[in-house]
Amino acid sequence: MGERDWWKEIAVYQVYPKSFKDANDDGSGDLKGIIEKLDYLQNLGIEAIWINPVYQSPMVDNGYDIMDYKAIHPQFGTMQDMDQLISEAGKRGMRIVMDLVLNHTSNQHPWFLESKRSRTNAKKDWYIWRDPKPDGTAPTNWRAEFGGSSWTFDEQRGQYYLHCFAAEQPDLNWANPDVRAAIYEFITFWLEKGVGGFRLDAITYIKKPERFTDLPPNGEDGLAPVGRASLNQPGILDYLHEMKARTFDNYDIFTVAEAPGVPAEQIPQFTGENGVFSMLIEFDHINMGVGSEQKWYEPMPWSLTDLKQIVSKSQHFVNKSGWSALYLENHDSPRSINSYLGDQAVKAGTISAKLLATFYTLLKGTPYIYQGQELGMTNVHYPSIDKYDDLSSLNQYRSAIREGCSEQEALEAVWHFSRDNSRTPMQWSDQVYAGFSTQKPWLGVHPNFVRVNAQAELRNPDSLYYYYQKLIRLRKSSRAFRYGDYALLKPDHEHVWAYTRSCSREKMLVILNFSDTLVDFPSSQELVQAATKLVLGNVSQRLPDHENKMQLKPYEARVYLVK
């Protein structure tokens, strides 16, 4: 890894294939649908496309339960379609980034079917099996991420197997070198096909503790979060360095790791010259509202200064070593306007979305845009829990009811945090089903598609889509925004976030009013005088500045070149 690796200078777009574009009119997105929209992404300024899993799968968890790592699920198309996608993207200067799920497989994977057959077969320890406690109950009291025990009893084998997520997603035993060798083999299969990199799902779960013991429970079910026992365990870096040496190091690619459990101070161990991955997907800024116990129905209050502290701490370590994946949305999170600014900001229109776009794309790292984010798509409020598909939403709803919430309170928690908020079909036009498909989609379309859609954005020169385009171009043209150090100004200000990005040749200033009111932002006369050139802003008519303050409109963002 060097100072000017190509993946540090690009913008990445995330595609959730099932909801992106349906080319064969069966109500579900597919690979040909992605191919159909490559020009749209190229025009935005995208140079890499991360696609969520499209492998052969029973689809219990929307493809994160894989039964064949070398086959494409017919719902998405064929391997020929995948080869065409890689080729057509390459012709447009874009690389395809695959989603790798290495902590677990499907319980329909041939490896697991063989492993559960007996305690003596060749794959007997490819997964994590344990005997019951003397009373016949599960080996430990760990709660899976999707709810319920993280252990499921298999009658055929007469033992429990561990699954950090759904029961249909048994965890692989990374302590077995044969398992690791098999993983490296199918990683190489995709590298030889010409993919440009990998996003590694739940990778910090792969190392299990030396001893499996009960933990203090944190809920009425008497269980404790499995993450306490399996996230970022000692010894995980040994596995990861071996994988890197055997696969990634042999190709010109980038890797981005989903890294829950990795604190900011450990970033240099996971990325940078001595690290394992090109960049990390951090979670602290995403999880602020749900608290450490991850109960949607017990939201945690937070302030802008809290967010500043979290992001600035991460940026501090990125300044010194390593790299970060910059994002506010993905397929596992609600929409950013709702999460960070609230309902009032949704009503304010695109100005609030432009504020958030300015804020995160100009930090130090590689920016990721999630499908529909460039349109200003927002959370959906389905009228009933029956309309939701997301496993987490269903489990959180049941937990909320079990712990005393009313059905309406439980549903409102789902409205706010559901993963289905980001999985509603992409809104391409104001036509039936938002132009996503001619058939009823697998998940309900957001009713605001008649005004929030790509067709309308492309017709409006002042749209959010074109604002993202400007941000991407600004970042490409500015060395300070690509490589300059981040520095926070006025960390205690409750409404305004101001920061600089500086390198030896250039200094840029970003000022952001996160509130829905007019704010007088106090600043030194030197700063006002130095900020002589407004490079980008999200309002057409700025209020006049004075010697010791800047007057900022609600949700106003300004980017200055500093003398």
Amino acid at 510: V
226: left (phi over 0), alpha (psi -120 to 50) or beta: alpha
Beta strands in 114-270 (DSSP E): 129-130, 142-143, 151-154, 159-162, 197-201, 224-225, 254-258
Which phi-psi region, left, alpha or beta, contains residue 288 (left: φ > 0; alpha: ψ -120 to 50)?
alpha
- Which DSSP category does 359 fall into? H
* Separation of first and last alpha carbons in the chain: 32
How far, in Å, CA of 85 to CA of 70, rounded? 16
Separation between Cα atoms, residue 105 and residue 57, nearest integer Å: 9
Does the active-site annotation cover 39? no
Q: How many residues does the chain have?
A: 563
Q: Which long-range contacts does 35-39 make (Cβ < 8 Å, 24+ apart)?
A: 35/81, 35/84, 35/85, 35/88, 38/88, 38/89, 38/92, 38/94, 39/92
Which H or E run includes 93? none
Q: What is the β-pairing status of strands 48-51 and 224-225?
A: unpaired
**HSE of 391 in the Cβ direction (CA atoms, 13 Å)?**
17
d(C-alpha 11, C-alpha 327), whole Å:
11
Single out the catalytic residue among 30, 47, 258, 282.
Answer: 258
- Report the chain's C-alpha Rg in angstroms: 24
CA distances (Å), origin 416, targets 56, 262, 410, 449, 538: 31, 25, 10, 19, 27
**Is 37 strand, coil or helix?**
coil
Residue 556 phi, psi dihedral angles, 5° rounding: -75, 140
CA atoms within 13 A on the CB side of 181: 3
201 part of the active site: yes
Contact of 550 with 523, CB cutoff 8 Å: yes
Alpha helices in 478-549 (DSSP H): 479-483, 525-530
Options 201, 420, 457, 556, the catalytic residue:
201
Contact 150, 143 (CB under 8 A): yes
User: Which tokens is 540 given?
Assistant: 């057409």
- For residue 87, the SS3 value is helix
User: How is residue 116 written in tokens?
Assistant: 């559960």
Question: Strand, helix or coil at 231?
Answer: coil
How far apart are the C-alpha atoms of 45 and 201, rounded to whole Å? 25
- Residues taking part in catalysis: 201, 258
